[in-house]
Homo-oligomer: A and B are copies of this chain.
């Protein structure tokens, strides 16, 4: 009997958008991988074992079969997508892809994802809930920038669906969890539908009942 180890191990929290990006691409590619669930909302990225893999204490992180590791969701996407249809070979399209991936990490994730985290993963009386109105206002600005782009283009990755779309999809698709409404952004809603129609698309798994109970509270 032979144990066949997958060539890639993904350390991630399944209901984190940053982690789901990696799963989305691996499923699009039909790649073989092992997923190791890490509950980053409850301290599991701060254990000595995990800090030895990533001193920055964040998931996702991928590990190759020779032990080498790579953190940062968008760096992982870029590395995995090289040579596949999900990353253009054209220099200018690659630059625009990176432009939207840096936009995602600087101007989108810190409001769209953090608002969701506060609503679903902090106590109902957490003082952090005072941050929500400002985070939701910043999320609206980021969505307006996306809406404007989508008025003149189908995708964020160039002429075709690709890793910038995956990066922006993950948290936009669950923006409502953070009390962020997508109704004012019809082009964003249409783009979300186009992403969901891609071959091999997998949705984010459901959150736990405890988290769901917090998310359904009035914003």
Please pick, from B75, B94, B102, B148, the residue contacting A72 in the complex, using a CB distance under 8 A: B102
A159 interfacial by beta-carbon distance below 8 Å: no
Bitwise, A69-100 to B at CB < 8 A (1) or not (0) is: 01111111011001000000001101110110
For residue A56, CB closer than 8 A to chain B, the reply is yes
Q: How far, in whole Å, are A102 and B96 apart by their CA atoms in the complex? A: 15
Most chain B beta-carbon contacts within 10 A, residue among A71, A73, A106, A149: A106
A68 interfacial contact with B, CB 8 Å: yes
Is the interface on chain A under 10, 10 to 19, 20 to 34, or 35 or more residues?
Answer: 20 to 34
Residues in A159-202 with C-beta less than 8 Å from chain B: none
Task: Known contacts A74-B98, A78-B98; decide if A92 and B105 are in contact (CB<8 Å).
Answer: no
Are the C-beta atoms of B102 and A74 separated by less than 8 Å? yes
CB-based contact A82/B91 at 8 Å: yes
Any chain B CB within 8 A of the CB of A110? yes
CB distance from A127 to the nearest CB of B (A): 13
Interface membership of A145, Cβ < 8 A: yes
Could you tell me the distance in whole angstroms from the C-beta of A104 to the nearest C-beta in chain B?
10
Nearest-neighbour CB distance to chain B for A80, whole angstroms, equals: 9
Per a CB cutoff under 8 Å, which of B79, B92, B110 touches A91?
B79
Q: Which B residue's beta carbon lies closest to that of A105?
A: B106
A55 at the interface (CB under 8 A from B): yes
Q: How far is the CB of A89 from chain B (nearest CB, A)?
A: 12
Chain A residues with CB under 8 Å of chain B are 55-56, 68, 70-76, 78-79, 82, 91-92, 94-96, 98-99, 101-103, 105-107, 109-110, 144-145, 148-149
Q: List 28 A-B contacts (CB under 8 A).
A: A55-B144, A55-B148, A55-B149, A56-B103, A56-B107, A56-B145, A68-B92, A70-B95, A70-B99, A71-B103, A72-B98, A72-B102, A72-B103, A73-B102, A75-B96, A75-B99, A75-B101, A78-B95, A78-B98, A79-B91, A79-B94, A79-B95, A79-B98, A82-B91, A98-B98, A101-B102, A106-B110, A110-B110
